Copies of this chain bind each other. A is one copy, B any other.
Amino acid sequence: MKKAVILLSGGLDSATTLRIAQSEGYECCAISFDYAQRHKAELTAAKNIAKKAGVVEHKIVDLNLRLFGGSSLTDDNLTVPTGSDIDHSQIPSTYVPARNTIFLSVALGYAEVLAATDIFIGVTAVDYSGYPDCRPEFIAAFENMANLATKIGVEGHRIKIHTPLIALSKAEIIQAGTQLGVAYQDTISCYQADEQGRACGQCDSCLLRAQGFAQAGIKDVTQYVI
């Protein structure tokens, strides 16, 4: 079996991506980040998801992005937009500067140590918050860079960044994941979940998720605070 590294946040998209990678025959090694995000519930979720999926190993990387902040997810002085405060005409404050670049870079190092050339990330550019580092052109540029950056790349192996969700709507992601047996009650999408992992129901991530379940015609099993 070919090994792959999977970025696993504990959310809906990455949990689905993990199951897709496994369905494609990859032996999966998961990596998650404690980046001092607003809540630890998603890391608890990631551990549970990884365990249930039977990954080969699951690395949790400590990397405190509050050291420089710059996002409402890493600076408590900024608020997570909810409801009518969500403005889809601009990149929102929940954007974490260079987050996917940083996460993919660490995943790249991990993959190289495993002699794995396949990295999976659950980005989507359909029902999303407009983050630049979720777009296909970013992924293509990262992949190109990764092949020049690494020993494995210069030795002629081809590193591939897999983005199986990139062109799917949230409803399509949920439908695909449901068919693969993803237990969505184990996932947390909310930007500001409470300690018990209950979702606020009002942030952009909650709204996209709820809309996805509704459009997919699948019962939304998310636990909300209210």
Q: Complex: how many Å from CA A112 to CA B99? A: 11
Known: A70-B109, A102-B106. A138 touches B132 (CB 8 A): no
Q: Are A101 and B109 in contact (CB under 8 A)?
A: yes
Expressed in whole angstroms, the Cα–Cα distance for A141 and B97 within the complex equals: 19
A164, CB-defined interface residue at 8 Å: no
CA distance A110 to B69 in the complex (A): 8
**Copies of this chain, how many?**
2
Q: Which residues of B contact A112 (CB under 8 A)?
A: 70, 97-98
* Interface residue? A48 (CB, 8 A): no
Stretch at the interface among A55-63, A168-176, A196-204: A55-63
Q: Which of B64, B102, B144, B151 contacts A102 (CB 8 A)?
A: B102
Q: How many Å from the CB of A11 to the closest CB on chain B?
A: 20
**CB-CB nearest in chain B for A104:** B105
Instruction: List B contacts of A99 (CB < 8 A).
Output: 109
Cβ–Cβ < 8 Å partners of A68 in chain B: 59, 109-110, 113-114
Kindly supply a per-residue 1/0 record for chain A positions 99-140, scoring 1 wherever the CB is within 8 Å of any chain B CB and 0 otherwise. Answer: 111101110111011100000000000000000110101100
Which parts of A138-156 form the interface with B (CB within 8 Å)?
Answer: 138, 141-142, 144-146, 148-151, 153-154
Contact A101 B105 (CB under 8 A): yes
Chain B residues with CB under 8 A of A150: 97-98, 101, 132-133
Residues on B with C-beta less than 8 A from A106 are 63, 98, 102
In the assembled complex, 18 residue pairs joining A and B whose CB atoms fall closer than 8 Å, in A order, are A61-B67, A67-B110, A68-B110, A91-B151, A91-B154, A97-B151, A98-B106, A98-B112, A98-B149, A101-B150, A102-B106, A102-B108, A105-B105, A135-B148, A137-B148, A141-B144, A141-B149, A142-B145
- Give the 9 A-B CB pairs with smallest separation, nearest first: A70-B113, A98-B109, A97-B112, A141-B145, A97-B109, A105-B105, A98-B108, A102-B105, A138-B148
